[in-house]
Amino acid sequence: MTRPVWALLVGTERFRRTRVAVASRCDEPAWARELLKMFEAEPGVSFWDACDGGELCEIYKGSKKDHFRALQKKTNVAFDDMLFFDDD
């Protein structure tokens, strides 16, 4: 599912300015960061790269609300303009 979404984001003019971020309250933030660097959104582009070289990765224990506030502050994207997927 992820690759078709990625292809749409990078291949459609309408979404060219879309930014990708990660918000996670996982128990092992260092491992999560390592994995984001290993998994590729497309050949040669890791998910870490896709998140502005990790700048848009909020990975630490705590509230998702805190993660999103931090991302909103970094991006100046209104909460109403964010799209959020979660497995919780």
- In tens, the pLDDT along 21-63 reads 999 998 999 999 999 999 988 889 899 999 999 999 999 998 8
Cβ(21)–Cβ(56) under 8 Å? yes
| Residue 45 belongs to a domain | yes
The reported pLDDT for the residue numbered 60 is: 93
The position carrying tokens 């260092």 is: 30
Is 6 among the domain residues? no
What's the rounded mean pLDDT across residues 64-73?
94
Q: With respect to residue 24, please indicate whether it lies within any of the assigned structural domains.
A: yes
Instruction: Give the total number of structural domains in the chain.
Output: 1
Domain contains 25: yes
Residue 20 has pLDDT above 80, yes or no: yes
Mean pLDDT of the chain: 89
Instruction: Say which residue, 78 or 2, is predicted with more confidence.
Output: 78
Asked if residue 84 belongs to a domain, the reply is: no
Look at residue 54 and tell me if it is in a domain.
yes
The answer to whether 63 and 25 are in contact (CB under 8 A) is: yes
